[in-house]
Chains A and B, each alone.
Chain A
Amino acid sequence: MTDQPLSTLDRLYSIDPKDLTDEQIDQIIAEYRQHFGVFAADEAAGIKPRTPRKAKLKTEEAKAETRDILKDLGLRS
């Protein structure tokens, strides 16, 4: 199952790029290659990419916000 990367990457993303070592860059590349391999295997097996939990939450929040606005406008009970 594909998923949004990746806690290791989250940490590397927060480092100032001028402090990133070659080893860390290689680690980033390796993580994404692995992730690509999983995605490609899922595609070949007909498995659709899963929407990451964070994105789903954002969608739910947006829907709730829209509902509240419609209520405020009296367009929805």
Chain B
Amino acid sequence: MSDSPFLPDTNKQFAWDSTSLGWFKECPRKYYLSMIRGLRGRAVEESVHLRWGGLYHAALELYDRLTFEGVEREQAIRDVVRYIFTKTWDTAKGVPVAFEHNTKTRPNLVRSVLWYLEYFRDDNAHTVRLANGKPAVELSFRLPIDDSIVLCGHLDRVVHWPQGGGHFVMDRKTTSSAIGSYYFDQYKPDNQMSLYSFAGAAILSSPIKGVIIDAVQIGVGFSRFARGLTYRSQSELDEWLDETYRWIQKVHTAVDEDFWPANDKSCHHYGGCVFRKVCGAAPQVREQILESDYEVRPWNPLESR
């Protein structure tokens, strides 16, 4: 059981990740419903993507760990394939796990991981060794930045990349969309990438250039990869941190006033807010909709992966 991300006996959040901060930046009401009330849609779709994406990340993390420990590449790949097959086998029924999705399938998972390792076969980004001797892979971090704020999150990997001239956080993304320059443009400015850069520098105690984004488009019959970079200078990170303090102050003011206005310019972004139908309904019926179409699954930035 993780600790609460809220100060005792209050709704004032002290442990912040990019997701919860992003909710408030998008829309105070979305933050209130998602974070303070812990509500999520009942959609099955969401869990398929989470599960499939989690396995994709875990498989590549295993490869990173094995090769860091000196396991030879071909053996590491064998171990990774066996891992995926095992994790996607329903032992009770004796059949493969059915993901019930046209692209997020078991074969496409195997293909995407193996193709990633082929596409980046000659990549010279190597995993950083932490001060404790462990690999900088799948790092859950908690960084206290003052007495009442802790920044939290998870880094897929921290690497030294000679081709890029220094240290980078590496983040792996999956998408169903085509990956062009506009895809990577969305990451600057971007709350998550700024936090990752800030955290990477803090963990290494040395400057970070930014974030390498290894994106994969998952199609029915193919997985297409691209690498994008998003840089963060020290002055940009200083500005981001100053603004983060201000955003958190605004949240605490909203808690004091218990006032959560909807930002109706955000409702339709990224395919539509999960609470769009709530805010689109008359105020007197919203609680009924929340009751019937949503469930309580609290989000906790303090949870480690």
Select B77's contact among A4, A13, A16, A29, beta carbons within 8 Å.
A29
Does B201 reach chain A (CB closer than 8 Å)?
Answer: no
B107-A36 in contact (CB<8A): no
CA gap between A58 and B222 in the complex, in Å: 17
Query: Closest Cβ of chain B: how far from A24's Cβ, in Å?
Result: 10
CA gap between A27 and B105 in the complex, in Å: 20
A28-B110 in contact (CB<8A): yes
A4-B220 in contact (CB<8A): yes
Partner-B contacts on A (CB < 8 A): 2-5, 9, 13-14, 16-18, 20, 22, 25-26, 28-29, 32-33, 35-36, 39, 43, 49-52, 55, 58
Q: Dominant SS at the B interface?
A: helix
Contacts of B94 in A (CB 8 A): 16
Contacts of B124 in A (CB 8 A): none
Does B160 reach chain A (CB closer than 8 Å)?
Answer: no
Query: Closest Cβ of chain B: how far from A38's Cβ, in Å?
Result: 10
17 A-B pairs with C-beta separation under 8 A: A3-B221, A5-B107, A9-B107, A16-B89, A17-B82, A20-B82, A25-B82, A29-B77, A32-B111, A32-B115, A35-B111, A36-B115, A39-B115, A43-B224, A51-B221, A55-B221, A58-B102
A51-B107 in contact (CB<8A): no
Does B118 reach chain A (CB closer than 8 Å)?
Answer: yes
A26-B220 in contact (CB<8A): no
A14-B96, A39-B115, A49-B222 given; 14 more Cβ-contact pairs under 8 Å: A17-B85, A25-B78, A25-B81, A28-B81, A28-B110, A29-B81, A33-B114, A33-B118, A36-B114, A36-B115, A36-B119, A39-B222, A51-B220, A55-B220
Q: How large is the interface on B (under 10, 10 to 19, 20 to 34, 35 or more residues)?
A: 20 to 34
Query: When each residue 101-131 of chain B gets 1 if its CB lies under 8 Å from chain A and 0 otherwise, what string results?
Result: 0100011001100110011000000000000
- The A/B interface has a contact count, at CB < 8 Å, of 60
Query: Closest Cβ of chain A: how far from B30's Cβ, in Å?
Result: 31
B85-A50 in contact (CB<8A): no
A55-B102 in contact (CB<8A): yes
Does B86 reach chain A (CB closer than 8 Å)?
Answer: yes
Does B207 reach chain A (CB closer than 8 Å)?
Answer: no
Query: Closest Cβ of chain A: how far from B115's Cβ, in Å?
Result: 5
Does B219 reach chain A (CB closer than 8 Å)?
Answer: yes
Contacts of A32 in B (CB 8 A): 110-111, 114-115, 118
Closest 3 CB pairs of A and B: A17-B85, A49-B222, A32-B114
Contacts of A13 in B (CB 8 A): 96, 106-107
A52-B107 in contact (CB<8A): no
A49-B221 in contact (CB<8A): yes
Query: Closest Cβ of chain A: how far from B159's Cβ, in Å?
Result: 23
Select B221's contact among A4, A17, A18, beta carbons within 8 Å.
A4
B118-A52 in contact (CB<8A): no
Query: Closest Cβ of chain A: how far from B27's Cβ, in Å?
Result: 33
CA gap between A3 and B81 in the complex, in Å: 21
